[in-house]
Amino acid sequence: MSDSASSLADSIPSLPPAREIPSTFISSVKSWWSAGEKGSAASEERLLRKLPYFRPAGSPPATPDNATAVTAQSSRVVLDDPKHYLNTFSITATSPSPEAPPPAVVLHGYGAGLGFFFQNFPALGKWAGKRGTSVYAVDWLGMGRSARVPFQVKAKREDIDGRVREAESFFIESLEQWRRKMGLETMTLVGHSLGGYLSIAYALRYPTRVNKLILLSPAGIPRDPNSTVPSRELTDPQTTGATDHDRPEPADSKRVEELKSSQQEAQRQESRSRKVLTYLWEQGWSPFQVVRSTLFWGPLLIGKYATRRFIGLDEEDTRAMNEYIMNITLAKGSGEYCISHLLAPGAHARRPMVDRISALRIPVTFVYGDHDWMDPEGGKESVERMRQAGNGLGRMYMIPHAGHHVYLDNPKAMNDLLIKELDRPAGSGRTPYSA
C-alpha cells in the first residue's frame, strides 16, 4: 500500500469486526437482532474497506493531488421513482483518459449483492486507473442493498411470454434508468448467474448501450430442463485448490463434455433433501423467504451455508461474508420473487437465451468453473449460433478449481481473464473457442 493510500485509510473511522458466525440458538438470536439497515451498511463497508482507496460516506475528502490512481465510494442512485434506488459502488480514475474504454458494470446473481466481488475489485480498480476509466458494481433493484420495492407480475400464469417480459423489465428498466442517471453512453456488462441472464436481456433491448458482455456462469442459457441441479448452490462446498499458476482454459468440446458428465453424475446422486430443495425452487419458493420464516434460527442457517460455501476464505473474510449475506438475506423480500417467472423447473429459462442471443452483434464471453453446476452446453451452442449469424466475437472459457462462483473460488485466474477480455478489441474474435 502506498503512503498516500495508507494515510487515506488511517483517516477513516474504524468499524467493529464482524460477529462470530452463530453456532448456538442464543448467538443466532443476537445476530438476528442486529440485522437491519445499519448492520447491512456496515457489513458491506467492511468488505469494501479492503480497498485502500475506498472513501466511506462522511469521511474526509480525497486529496486533490491524484496521489492514488483511483478513488472508490458507495452511493444510492435514485431512479425516476424517488422510492426506487440502486446501491452503487464506484471506482473512478483520478486522471480520466479521453481515450478510455467504456466503463465496466459488475452485476451480481440471484439474491446476492455487489459485496460478493470484493476479491475482484482490486484488479478491476487497477485496470480502471491504468485505462483512465471507471468500474461500477450495482445491486439489482429489490436485491442486495438496493430499494426493496414490491415485485409484481400482472400477466396470467399461462402467459409465459408476458410473465418473462414483465419480470425482465423490472430489472432491465431500472438498470437503464441508472445508466441515464450516471450519464454513461455505453458500458461493458459483467454479469454472474442471473446477472448474466439479465445482462443479455438488457443488451437485446438496448443494443447500442452495451460495448461487450462478459458472462460468468450465466443462468438461463440452455433449453434442456434436466441440465442443472440448482440445489447444489445451497449444498455444495466451495471448490478449493486454486493456485497463482492457474490459467483460464478455452472451453473446447472435450472440457464441456467432462463438465457435463460430472453434472449428470450429481443428478443421479441427488439426495432426497436436495430434491426437496429443488422442488421448492421449482414451485417459485424463494430460499430467502424460507430462511426469513425461521425467524431467530435464520442466522444459524445462514452461518452453516457460509462456513461450507466459503471454506476457501480465511476466517476474517468468512465472518465478513457471513454477516453481509445475513443482512441482505433477512431484508424484506422483493426482486427475489422473480425466479419462478424467469426460470422454469430445473432452473432453465422459460425463454432460453440460446434462442435469443444470435441477435447481438457485440463481443460475448462465456465463463464457467470446471466444477460448475450451471450447464455449459448453452454457452457452447450460443457461441456457435452467434457465429452462424455473422458474429464471430463469441468466446468461452473454463476456470480451473472453480464452481458456480468462479470469481470467488479462483479470483486470480478470473481477474486475469476479466482484464484480458475488458482490453480485447471489439473485432478480435477468431474461432468459437479461441484463446
Measured between alpha carbons, how far is 409 from 390 in angstroms, rounded to an integer?
Answer: 34
Instruction: Copy the grid coordinates of residue 349.
Output: 429459462
Under DSSP, the state recorded for 227 is: S
Instruction: Copy the grid coordinates of residue 339.
Output: 425466479
Q: What is the CA radius of gyration of the chain?
A: 21
Under DSSP, the state recorded for 54 is: B
Q: How many CA atoms lie within 13 A of 49 on its CB side?
A: 22
Long-range contacts from 303-307, C-beta under 8 angstroms, 24+ separation: 303/21, 303/22, 303/23, 303/28, 303/31, 305/234, 306/21, 307/21
Q: Is 193 a catalytic residue?
A: yes
Measured between alpha carbons, how far is 92 from 73 in angstroms, rounded to an integer?
Answer: 9
- CB-CB contact of 253 with 419 (8 Å): no
3-state class (DSSP) for residue 84: coil
| Sign of the dihedral defined by the CA atoms of residues 411, 416, 417, 423, in that order | positive
Nearest to 43 by CA among 71, 19, 11, 73: 19
274: Cα separation from own chain's centroid? 24
Measured between alpha carbons, how far is 291 from 300 in angstroms, rounded to an integer?
Answer: 10
Nearest to 395 by CA among 361, 358, 363: 363
> 77 forms bridges with which residues in the sheet?
86
Q: Is 90 a catalytic residue?
A: no
Instruction: Copy the grid coordinates of residue 387.
Output: 457465429
Burial 244-278 (b: 16+ CB within 10 A, else e): eebebbebeeebbeebbeebeebeeeeeeebeebb
Residue with cell 458491506: 44
3-state class (DSSP) for residue 250: strand
Query: Active site residue: 90, 193, 231, 358, which one?
Result: 193
User: How many residues does this entry show for the chain?
Assistant: 435
Query: Active site residue: 372, 375, 405, 409, which one?
Result: 372
Query: Active site residue: 134, 404, 405, 409, which one?
Result: 404
Catalytic site positions: 193, 372, 404
